[in-house]
Amino acid sequence: MISAASSISSMIERPVAVSSTPTAAVKSVAGATAAGVSQVSFVDTMAQVASSAIDTLKTGEASSIAGIQGKASVQQVAEAVMAAEQTLQTAIAIRDKVVAAYQEIARMAI
């Protein structure tokens, strides 16, 4: 499970060209600069989501091992594994959407 989330995390960390573009200000539809709005890049957000997903998967694995060793209750193991499964399904869905968007862009006429 962790290898799938790690590959998504490595895909997110690669786009240097996107993260190096300057983001000075947010502009509204009229073209005015919005003051007081903090700017968060898409790459940073996705990296944070991937990191959180990896942590959830690691927690699920650790809980499973603790359950096998008799250190965790069945309920704790079930909850951690279900959370890890949901996180993995979400990561796969995001990956599928990214691949579909890339394929759509690749099909566009120049």
Is 30 within a domain? no
38-52 residue pLDDT tens: 888 989 999 999 999
Tell me the whole-structure pTM to 2 decimals.
0.61
Question: Mean pLDDT for the chain?
Answer: 79
| pLDDT class of 79 with cuts at 50, 70, 90 | very high
Is 28 within a domain? no
Q: How many domains does the chain have?
A: 1
Cβ atoms of residues 72 and 60 within 8 Å:
no
pLDDT value at residue 47: 93
2-13 residue pLDDT tens: 555 555 555 545
pLDDT value at residue 95: 94
For 49, the domain range is 2-11+41-107
Q: What is the dihedral of CA 68, 74, 79, 82, to 10 degrees?
A: 60
12-37 residue pLDDT tens: 455 443 444 444 444 444 444 456 67
Is 55 within a domain? yes
Cβ atoms of residues 27 and 34 within 8 Å:
yes
Is 81 within a domain? yes
